[in-house]
Structure 1
Amino acid sequence: MKLIRPLFVATHLWFALIAFVLLFVAAYAFPILFPLIQIAFVIFLVLIGLDYWLLFRRKNRTNGSAFFARREIPDRLSNGDENPLTIYLENQYSFQVDVEIIDEIPYQFQRRDVLFKARLNPRETQAIRYELRPTRRGEYSFGSVNVFVLTPLGLLKRRYQFGQGKMVAVYPSFLQMRQYELLAATNRLNEVGIKRIRRIGHSMEFEQVRPYSTGDDVRTVNWKATARRTDSQGASLMINAYQDERSQPVYCLIDKGRVMQSPFDGLTLLDYAINASLVLSNIALLKQDRAGILTFSDHVGQLLPADRRTGHMLKILELLYRQKTRFLETDYESLYTSVRSHIRQRSLLLLFTNFETVSAMHRQLPYLRRLAKDHLLLIIFFENTELRSLLDQPATDTEQIYLKTIGEKFAYEKNQIVKELTQYGIQTILTAPQNLTANTVNKYLELKARGMI
């Protein structure tokens, strides 16, 4: 059975059998062809036996196999990103082989087209690279790598199976986080839509008193220190030196209620918010601020206090990875109570949620105003991109005019929400899901440059 189970019939063999059936049928009309067809069929059976012998005769001394394959996969995958995978092939036969590779990827991808073909010379190695884009966090189970080997005769296939399965966790978009971190280190954040923010004035976190240098702001002259130095060491202006304000608490408040379950490009709004929170937390830590996370829905979920000690980014990543969807109505009263109890210092609160109508925002407005009274509140909600594409298309009949009218009403309400929140001193971002991360980081850098945090 060990020599039969891995054996499969190639397409060429089926075509040859069909051809022989037709030839034998034709031999009834032309009996003179029958002996020739019989000889050809015997030769055909010999070729099948030879093909079988070539496939199964040789075994490698190291692993007992004449062919070797290995899948190389990261220890964890990045949600919403294209993750690279590599399959390494090694032909240990003494002749050229054609191979078909079927990789058993997790069912979450819902793909049935992961089939690759290659041709390897004797003792040759090849690498096949492809990408997978997961759209859900959690554990993904990879199966075996199935390799079907054909000899130059191409009549039979021998199946090899490598790697009996591997469990891989899909985390929030750490690839996007690394991209922003690298661009920030090389001062190239503008490549991903991050604007250069002009710093308005200077921060008021005192660093030291030092001698005046050309180009220093004369408004920072410390006249008392100048007078003391003039008396003791001669005339010399002294100024107050300031540094960027650091260790400001920055919290990402992530709504896990039903309003965040709308899909866009395979990901839910919740996953977009989680990916943006991971990037923003990393940027905040690079800016020497403290980053924290709070999740909520019908009740408050997990709270990670703002911190910037070594290993804090890993805690944020693990917390965001474990978040699960809840399809219940969001309770903002519980959110306000939890923030008031656990976040005592004035902080920047980035609230990721979604409001579709003005009335929905009005129901939560009292709690939002209370949050904005004690903290700097930034509400981030989403533009309906499908609705926007509908509005951009010209109407050609009565039905489309009706649909565009309804769409204009919803789009107007989104803009009305922004205006009403701004009237109460609440910062807002209305963004398309694909622009969420860049717009959020831009707003954070703007608020920091304006000295509001």
Structure 2
Amino acid sequence: MTKSLKNLWGRFLFRGKGILPTKRLIVLIIAVSLSLIVVTVWNKSLLFVIGVDTLVLLLSLVDLAVIPSKHAFHFNRTIPAELERGLTYSVQVKIKNLSNRPISYRFIDGLPQSFKKVNPVFGKVEKEETMVVSYQIIAPVRGKYQITNLHFRFSSMLGLWEKQFTVELEDTVKVIPDLTDTKQYLESAQRFLQYEGTIIRKRQKGVGEFAKIRNYVVGDDPRKINWRQTAKLQEVMTNEYEPEHGKYITILIDCGRMMGAELKVGNRLEKALEAVLTVAAAALKKGDYVSVLAFSKDIKMYVPPAKGMEHLQKILQAIYNLQVDANESNYAAVFQYLESVQKKRSLILLFSDVHTFLHEETTLIFLKRLRLRHLFFMIGIEDHTLLQRVKDEPRNVQIAMMKSIAQQQQQIKKREKNKWEKQGLQMIEAKEEQLAIAAVSYYIDTMNRDLL
């Protein structure tokens, strides 16, 4: 295909600039052509045929001559700087028509191909008027994107011709993990956990840091009554305690090959990142120090420990663009690195694939040494396919063989988990939609029991 043909084809695809005939003009030409064929059958003169063609041509040229210039339009795009993965957002495009003619338009915004959007966007703007057009988008893939162009096309007064051009509008958009679970926890921790059937356990009576004095309610431990304040205020008051603040939480994120396994929505890494942010928010809200380390074959990123809710934004900006690598995870290297950077006792939460981790025999040596100083807990996502195979009815030989292999794999995993847990290394698998719930529940239980 020659360069000129490529440019012409690009115009029909909303690329570049130029002038194009509309469907109305094409239909008009076809109708005139058919009419001329009929006229020639009636033996009309050639001058009549030429006259009709000339009239149609002049009409379209006049329509083209009065079409406004592209300089008569000004544009501005408003799009959120951060989009949560999978959620719907509104993008606004302001169109200012400086010409003295109303125009009908359609445009395609230069969004990444992975975005789900409605294209093209149709509308009409009156003369010397400014209007704001909104349309919805969904970003299913995390990352940082540059949006540079808006492809605009508007028609002439009679609608016989269309002029198109490209407007350069620079915007940078970050697609971050879905923070729905994190927001729900921050709004109400107890309601967030009870929704999934989990209740925050009460801590041991009178253990931990003194928090405040409040009114006594039915169910409180009478041993916690503050008799001095009770006598002073003439109503029963009780002391309230909470876990000690300032503990260290270290979150490890596996970005190896197995974390790319597809789930109902997204993959394992997507769910792990959402759970990581929820746990980090819970710990930071309690006043603990949180550090995050991502790895696969090598260390990908490390956020040093800090406290305060503003640290959550730093963690988010560090992990939002993490991607699955094609390499196997090097657990030994990450534990060696962790020993060098995390000197204080901490709760280590590892988000990884349990099945892969259990077969890393050399990792057990490093974990035994790590266990002397830190608490270790691993959490993964259940293999839905494996569990489904175990539940299948053996209707034929093929299904029976797959069921037998699935049961064997399940028994091997159970045996290996028991071996690791005897060494004090706890691990669980949760459903994909309950991963954040399970991780936060374990963190709260650990804090309430003063295990750290």
TM-score by length of 1: 0.77
Classify the secondary structure of the residue corresponding to 2:63: helix
Deviation at 1:326, TM superposition (A): 4.1
Q: Do residues 12 (structure 1) and 24 (structure 2) align?
A: yes
Change (3 A) 1:211 1:82: closer
Give the corresponding residue for 1:339: 338
Looking at structure 2, the residues matched to 308 and 157 of structure 1 have their Cα atoms a distance apart, in angstroms, of 58
- Provide the alpha-carbon RMSD of the alignment: 4.1
Residue type of the alignment partner of 1:154? G
Give the corresponding residue for 1:246: 245
Change (3 A) 1:148 1:299: closer
Alignment of 1:283-294 (within 5 A): 283-294=282-293
Classify the secondary structure of the residue corresponding to 1:56: coil
Give the corresponding residue for 2:376: 377
Deviation at 1:412, TM superposition (A): 5.0
Deviation at 1:392, TM superposition (A): 6.5
Give the corresponding residue for 2:187: 183
Change (3 A) 1:38 1:209: closer
Change (3 A) 1:391 1:303: same
Give the corresponding residue for 1:259: 258
Deviation at 1:80, TM superposition (A): 5.1
Alignment of 1:415-426 (within 5 A): 418-426=417-425
Give percent identity, aligned residues only: 22
Deviation at 1:286, TM superposition (A): 1.0
Give the corresponding residue for 2:123: 118
Classify the secondary structure of the residue corresponding to 2:75: strand
Give the corresponding residue for 1:106: 112
Looking at structure 1, the residues matched to 164 and 250 of structure 2 have their Cα atoms a distance apart, in angstroms, of 54
Looking at structure 1, the residues matched to 362 and 171 of structure 2 have their Cα atoms a distance apart, in angstroms, of 47
- Is the Cα–Cα contact under 8 Å of residues 209 and 243 in structure 2 kept in the other structure? no
Q: Do residues 88 (structure 1) and 94 (structure 2) align?
A: yes
TM-score by length of 2: 0.77
Give the corresponding residue for 1:273: 272
- Is the Cα–Cα contact under 8 Å of residues 150 and 156 in structure 1 kept in the other structure? yes
Range with greater deviation from structure 2 (333-342 or 279-288): 333-342
Residue type of the alignment partner of 2:25? L
Alignment of 1:382-393 (within 5 A): 382-388=381-387
Looking at structure 2, the residues matched to 29 and 394 of structure 1 have their Cα atoms a distance apart, in angstroms, of 76
Q: In the TM superposition, what whole-angstrom CA distance separates every residue of 1:30-59 from its partner, at most 9, and x where no partner exists?
A: 3349776655434432331232133227x8
Give the corresponding residue for 1:74: 80
Residue type of the alignment partner of 2:183? Q
Counterpart of 1:132 (choices 135, 138, 151) is 138
Counterpart of 1:146 (choices 143, 146, 151) is 151
Give the corresponding residue for 2:173: 168
- Is the Cα–Cα contact under 8 Å of residues 142 and 320 in structure 2 kept in the other structure? no
Counterpart of 2:202 (choices 189, 195, 199) is 199
Q: In the TM superposition, what whole-angstrom CA distance separates every residue of 1:314-368 from its partner, at most 9, and x where no partner exists?
A: 3323332465654433333333333334333332111011133686155534434
Looking at structure 2, the residues matched to 167 and 47 of structure 1 have their Cα atoms a distance apart, in angstroms, of 45
Classify the secondary structure of the residue corresponding to 2:64: helix
Deviation at 1:434, TM superposition (A): 4.2
Counterpart of 2:66 (choices 35, 42, 54) is 54
Looking at structure 2, the residues matched to 424 and 339 of structure 1 have their Cα atoms a distance apart, in angstroms, of 19
Q: Unpaired runs of 5+ in structure 2?
A: 1-15
Classify the secondary structure of the residue corresponding to 2:80: coil
Deviation at 1:13, TM superposition (A): 1.9
Looking at structure 1, the residues matched to 152 and 415 of structure 2 have their Cα atoms a distance apart, in angstroms, of 59
Q: Unpaired runs of 5+ in structure 1?
A: none
Give the corresponding residue for 1:29: 41
Deviation at 1:221, TM superposition (A): 7.7
- Is the Cα–Cα contact under 8 Å of residues 106 and 121 in structure 2 kept in the other structure? yes
Looking at structure 2, the residues matched to 148 and 111 of structure 1 have their Cα atoms a distance apart, in angstroms, of 21
